[in-house]
Chains A and B, each alone.
Chain A
Amino acid sequence: MLFIYAIAALGLIGLLFGLGLATAAKVFYVETDPRVEAVNDLVPGANCGACGYPGCMKFSEAVVSGEAEPDACIPGGEEVANEIAALLGKEVSSSASPIATLFCIGDNYRAADSFVYDGVKDCNVAGDFYGGHKACSYGCLGLGNCVRVCPFEAIIMGSHGLPVIDKEKCTGCELCAKECPRDLIQMLPRGEEGHLVLCSSQDRGKTVSRACEVGCIACKACIKVCQQEAIEMDGKLAVIDLEKCTDCGDCVEKCPPGTIYQRSAIPSEQEAIAAAAEKEKETA
């Protein structure tokens, strides 16, 4: 019979406290703005923090109170901004979300490693260990911190040792750009226009060519050929101004290591592997 007492005692105590809490919840009920919930249902809910608020709920509160603009949600993009604006009766100042772009094409086949790294698979750790296993001290270490930080699974690590960014899935939240210890990911305006120098090395040309077959060697050949004067040196690196670039493609032909690509033609994983195989055949 003992167990009946036990069940009854615990059950009654629980019931009593439950009733007490229910009453307290009624008495101390806090009115919340129903619009906050409604906005929170509209945003993607990844809690990425790209808007500058800690989590989607806080962003929703800020939008409703007028503190934040409806288009501050970067992953949500135009669609969500319009929905929120319609809900709250506000205007949207249109702005397309940027897209993440990797400024390094030194894959496993074309950029040498200076030693075999067998430690923790983390770019920060590897980078601190004798300056990283990549011979180029500016190149992508390929251990995928950006892959892990992306809340939208828009980045995958290719077998060639470089992350591949899915343009469709990238929402421009900038988390990968902030995560990359070597600052190799830049946020660019969406679109296919313009050419890019896909390298971030500030080393001298000699050092670069020893470490990587496709790195910018600061020869300035592209600057000389460009008629729009869209290319300038930033230290030991050529940088193309996307607004001035007219996609003539002259610089691509002139670039000795082949670092410059049209934005729509950034080498994919398969192309990188194929190019490496072809090169090997030539040398053989």
Chain B
Amino acid sequence: METLLSIIFIYIFVENFVLHRFFGICPFLGVSRKMETAIGMSMAVIFVMTMATLVTWLLYTYILIPYNLPYLQIVTFILVIASLVQLVETVLRKISPTLYQGLGIFLPLITTNCAVLAVTLLAVRQEFSLVESVVFAIAASIGFSMALVIMAGIRERLELAVMPDVLRGSAVTLITAGILSLAFLGFQGMLTL
């Protein structure tokens, strides 16, 4: 139980996937313009990350390891992630066309979100158990979502802020991302596994 709690805390705050490890920068900058799409993207990523880690962990432990094929992990994991994203897209289109429209191109782009591949690879590399892996994936994706939502909140305000023209748009966004990352440095060393 204690390990699970520390996994949750570490991967949301201390080793935040976006702000500490710099995974998933593309959607972090691309979808954080509006709060609504940021939240929709977060939900989709939480689902994909958790499901992907669950499936890849099972495949890795019960197929790749017994048959001595660990070198196939990246190919297999990408296959799993791509299929899951496709599944989310199909289901979402049926269930919530509004969200489907809102996410637009970023929905299929979850496939290329390196945070998703990273979470599955790290789960097996850290030799987590199944429960730990799933909790790890949930924590990492919540950490990703948190960064995305914080960024969206800041950017919505920045739109109205007075600033020199050279800073407007992506320049100020990148500076904000850097400051945000520095702020999260404060959690450094607070907890380790």
Contacts and interface: CB of A to CB of B under 8 A. Distances in A.
A5 interface: yes
Interface string B66-89: 011100100110011001001100
B21 interface: no
Given A17-B79, A20-B83, A21-B87, A9 B94 contact: no
B94 A6 contact: no
B93 A9 contact: no
Contacts of A24: 87, 90-91
Given A9-B63, A13-B63, A28 B93 contact: yes
Given A21-B90, A24-B91, A9 B69 contact: yes
B72 A6 contact: yes
A28 B94 contact: yes
B64 interface: yes
Interface in A3-21: 5-6, 9-10, 13-14, 17-18, 20-21
A10 B73 CA distance: 10
B93 A2 contact: no
B146 interface: no
A14 B91 contact: no
Nearest to A14: B79
B74 to A, nearest CB: 11
Given A17-B83, A21-B83, A9 B72 contact: yes
A172 to B, nearest CB: 29
B99 interface: no
Contact of A25 (B59, B69, B79, B90): B90
A5 B71 CA distance: 12
Contacts of B72: 6, 9-10
Given A5-B67, A21-B87, A10 B94 contact: no
Interface string A6-49: 10011001100110110011001110000000000000000000
Contacts of B67: 5-6, 9
Contacts of A13: 59, 63, 76, 79-80
A9 B59 CA distance: 10
Contacts of A18: 83
A28 B63 contact: no
A2 B95 CA distance: 43
Contacts of A25: 90
A5 B69 CA distance: 8
Contact of A30 (B59, B79, B83, B93): B93
B100 to A, nearest CB: 9
A11 to B, nearest CB: 11
A10 B90 contact: no
Contacts of A9: 63-64, 67, 69, 72, 76
Nearest to A3: B69
Interface of A: 2, 5-6, 9-10, 13-14, 17-18, 20-21, 24-25, 28-30
8 contacts: A2-B69, A5-B68, A5-B69, A9-B69, A10-B76, A13-B79, A21-B86, A21-B90
Interface of B: 59, 63-64, 67-69, 72, 75-76, 79-80, 83, 86-87, 90-91, 93-95, 97
Query: 5 closest pairs, A vs B, by CB?
Result: A17-B83, A28-B94, A5-B67, A28-B90, A24-B90
